[in-house]
Structure 1
Amino acid sequence: MARYIFITGGVVSSLGKGLASAALGALLQARGFSVRLRKLDPYLNVDPGTMSPFEHGEVFVTDDGAETDLDLGHYERFTGVAARNTDSVSSGRVYSTVLEKERRGDYLGKTIQVVPHVTNEIKDFINVGDDEVDFMLCEIGGTVGDIEGLPFFEAIRQFAHDKPRGQCIFMHLTLLPYLSASGELKTKPTQHSVKELQSIGIAPDILVCRSEHPIPEKEREKIALFCNVRKDAVVAAYDLKSIYEAPLAYHEQGLDQAVLDAFDISPAPAPNLAIWNDVKDRIINPEGTVRVAIVGKYTQLEDAYKSIKEALTHGGMANRVKVDVEWVDAEVFDSADDVSPHLEGFHAILVPGGFGERGTEGKIKAAQFARERKIPYLGICLGMQMAVIEAARNLAGFDDAGSEEFDHEAGGKRFTPVVYHLKEWVQGNHKVRRKETDDKGGTMRLGAYNATLAEGSKVAQVYGTSAIEERHRHRYEVDIKYREKLEKCGLTFSGMSPDGRLPEIVEIKDHPWFIGVQFHPELKSKPFEPHPLFADFVRAAKETSRLV
């Protein structure tokens, strides 16, 4: 039976609950325990799949096809535990389930209320997989006091009450602001946040206090006294140069020991932090620098490409170099004849995924620049499709090559559809059929799919195998009927779906490193296990940097 740790936040948002949860999960693993992490989000969207990247950041996709909060990416990167559909829930999903049950008559005609029906649904969700791990860490999105979060706070209060004593603890993150005029850290916001939490029946066992300055012993004692926690359960969370220093930093501050003490686990198993010491060493002691341009359309918000940026960092660790990522807005040179001023000086170019036509001409020109200048290129999802369209236009003679996606937006046929809307495919042992009129998320190929790599190809060399499984999130595919003409021009289809119908990977043979993938390899990269494509991409960038 799992022990439960509920992580809440107060004072302000973006304090780092997701990072703290992930780091704690890694520390518990280092002590020999098994963990699973979950995210409970109060927003009314069923999931973030249809939310704008500017609104929510990236959508993290699991192997089983769930579109989830980007914090689940942190959980996976720090623990290596693959997230599942049951590890992310929103108010929208909860209410949808409750209303479906009500329509079916499951409640036998009773009046449907937040308590007990909504809270019971949340508790049932939290309880899934109770017997699978030693610790279940559940992060509650938002901050205490938010009106939309109240059902979740009530649910975890009830959940802890229902479980045997000592099986659940609460960890609360707060802010200790520093007033430069008086030279003081102020504890009052933390006190008020804890009182807000206590007013709904939850008493924190551990306080994690975010601070830009060291917390004096006097302030630590004051927080412990007025918030009714032990002094050694007041844990400082300081700003770090890299998020991958967090497990070691939290260990130094005693977070994992405070958790074990709260559960009365004694003697506590000694932690093995060798992996995280190695990760920290590779981060703070690079042996060079490479510059990588990410040519995207959501570059105003870095969280829109969170996993890509982290995967590049992992690739840098594998090669002991620092990766300087620079964000290049594809729209800037959509109509430019010469893109050199925007892309010269970079050691590699990455074009990520996206939806819609905006910025795609700039992405196509970025692919052309990388191909012609022999600069390492990695195209992901839409980035692969743009590389194929570029080759179709400039190598195979299809001057009007484009995507059905752009024709659909314009309401007419303007392009030769080298990329088309997929309406039927094979998943496992059954066929999946979709219509353009289906719900947005329902029209996509989501989750893990297998691919077969061509013998002797660059990607087979990179992966070291001929069979892979990667996560997808897209609704348009490269049309296989153009394969022969494109391959005659040098664009090789080096990865295909097992049935040979869907192109998964393309590459250019007479190029130092030019690969496009239909899937999202960044979603499976970890600091202690960099994804092979990103590790080799950064290696190629490192080689380019030596030639510049």
Structure 2
Amino acid sequence: MPMVNFTHCLLCALWQPLEENVKLKLSQFCQVPVSNIVNLHDVTNIWHIPLLLRDQRAHEAILKVLGLWCVGKVPQEPKLSEWTERASRFDKLKSPVRIAMVGKYTGISDSYLSILKALLHASVALDRKLVVDWVPSCDLEDSAAVETPDAYEKAWGLLKGANGVLVPGGFGDRGVQGKILAAKHARENNVPYLGICLGMQIAVIEYARSVMKLRDANSTEFDPAAKTPCVIFMPEVGCLTSYCI
């Protein structure tokens, strides 16, 4: 039986634009018109993607396949002035803003992907070029000064050079002391601090210990027997992750 091909459009994601001879070969082997083969190569920022699709008339190919081409109420030319402005704005950013991301999983950026995207959008809105410095929280602790002095110096250098400190969510007590030290540094030096989930607990614990002099202050999330619990579990809420400050 002959193989039936239901492919109408071919979008090729790669690091560089396709050469015309390659598009011709793809057209022959995949039985897709050359005009329906679209380059989705690497660009300087994500806002260039709609412009890339428009410039290659990808919308025309899709509308024709769907039978919507020349239908009165369907716009045939996309209005992308905002996208064009945003893409150009991003490319022109020069003034950096350095954010120290203090956590346990700093070697895996995908662990904090949503946070990174939020920071990116915020920095563009403020005309700043985002620079994220990954700071392993364990490397900020006093024990690291003895065990891994180079990592300790690097971590503190990044933290002290940051315009803002972000401590994201996390689990377990490993690296908690390093996060507390990061929160203390931010508070004492008037550096903007954002604590998300565990990061918020860290800020409360640090303030309770340093300012309120409650030396044993802790969260029952990682110290159920805390002598001075400043963040407690609320079983009446009926959720295993419901904590109250």
User: Shorter-chain TM-score: which interval?
Assistant: 0.7 to 0.9
Deviation at 1:394, TM superposition (A): 0.7
Task: Name the structure 2 match of 1:216.
Answer: 19
**Over residues 19-60 of structure 1, what are the superposed CA-to-partner deviations in whole Å (9 max), with x where a residue is unaligned?**
xxxxxxxxxxxxxxxxxxxxxxxxxxxxxxxxxxxxxxxxxx
Mapping for residues 237-256 of structure 1, pairs under 5 Å: 237-256=40-59
3-state SS, counterpart of residue 424 of structure 1: helix
Taking a change above 3 Å as real, the CA distance of residues 415 and 303 of structure 1, as seen in their structure-2 partners, is farther
Deviation at 1:342, TM superposition (A): 4.2
Taking a change above 3 Å as real, the CA distance of residues 262 and 420 of structure 1, as seen in their structure-2 partners, is same
The TM-score, its normalising length taken from structure 2, stands at 0.86
Task: Name the structure 2 match of 1:288.
Answer: 95
Task: Name the structure 2 match of 1:424.
Answer: 236
**Over residues 41-82 of structure 1, what are the superposed CA-to-partner deviations in whole Å (9 max), with x where a residue is unaligned?**
xxxxxxxxxxxxxxxxxxxxxxxxxxxxxxxxxxxxxxxxxx
Q: Aligned partners of 1:266, 1:341: CA distance in 2, in Å?
A: 58
Q: Is 2:209 the partner of 1:393? A: yes
Q: Aligned partners of 2:49, 2:227: CA distance in 1, in Å?
A: 49
Taking a change above 3 Å as real, the CA distance of residues 422 and 254 of structure 1, as seen in their structure-2 partners, is farther
Deviation at 1:364, TM superposition (A): 0.8
3-state SS, counterpart of residue 237 of structure 1: strand
Deviation at 1:335, TM superposition (A): 3.3
Q: Aligned partners of 1:221, 1:243: CA distance in 2, in Å?
A: 27
Taking a change above 3 Å as real, the CA distance of residues 213 and 318 of structure 1, as seen in their structure-2 partners, is closer
Mapping for residues 364-513 of structure 1, pairs under 5 Å: 364-408=180-224, 413-425=225-237, 433-434=238-239, 443=240, 475-479=241-245
Q: Aligned partners of 2:15, 2:118: CA distance in 1, in Å?
A: 27
Tell me how many residue pairs correspond in the alignment.
Answer: 231
Mapping for residues 5-154 of structure 1, pairs under 5 Å: none
| C-alpha contact 1:407 1:415 (8 A) present in aligned 2 | no
Task: Name the structure 2 match of 1:514.
Answer: none
3-state SS, counterpart of residue 47 of structure 2: helix
- Quick one: which of 338, 360, 366 aligns to 2:176? 360
Q: Aligned partners of 2:19, 2:138: CA distance in 1, in Å?
A: 49
Deviation at 1:263, TM superposition (A): 0.5
Q: Aligned partners of 1:422, 1:257: CA distance in 2, in Å?
A: 56
Deviation at 1:378, TM superposition (A): 1.2
Q: Aligned partners of 2:226, 2:130: CA distance in 1, in Å?
A: 39
3-state SS, counterpart of residue 314 of structure 1: helix
Q: Aligned partners of 1:220, 1:307: CA distance in 2, in Å?
A: 35
Deviation at 1:326, TM superposition (A): 1.2
- Quick one: which of 16, 29, 32 aligns to 1:229? 32
Structure 1: stretches of 5+ with no match in the other structure: 1-197, 426-432, 435-442, 444-474, 480-548
**Over residues 189-238 of structure 1, what are the superposed CA-to-partner deviations in whole Å (9 max), with x where a residue is unaligned?**
xxxxxxxxx97x77322111123333222221211111111211111111
Q: Aligned partners of 2:229, 2:36: CA distance in 1, in Å?
A: 60
**Over residues 251-299 of structure 1, what are the superposed CA-to-partner deviations in whole Å (9 max), with x where a residue is unaligned?**
2233222211211211251211122112112211125111111111111
Query: What letter corresponds to residue 359 of structure 1 in structure 2?
Result: G
| C-alpha contact 2:232 2:243 (8 A) present in aligned 1 | yes
Larger proportion of strand: 1
**Over residues 331-382 of structure 1, what are the superposed CA-to-partner deviations in whole Å (9 max), with x where a residue is unaligned?**
1123357874341111111111112212211111100000001111111111
More RCO (CA 8 Å, sep 6+): 1
Mapping for residues 163-242 of structure 1, pairs under 5 Å: 203-242=6-45
Structure 2: stretches of 5+ with no match in the other structure: 146-151
Q: Aligned partners of 1:254, 1:304: CA distance in 2, in Å?
A: 36
The TM-score, its normalising length taken from structure 1, stands at 0.40
Q: Is 2:165 the partner of 1:349? A: yes
Identity value in percent: 37
Cα-Cα RMSD? 2.2
Q: Aligned partners of 1:282, 1:363: CA distance in 2, in Å?
A: 34
Taking a change above 3 Å as real, the CA distance of residues 385 and 332 of structure 1, as seen in their structure-2 partners, is same
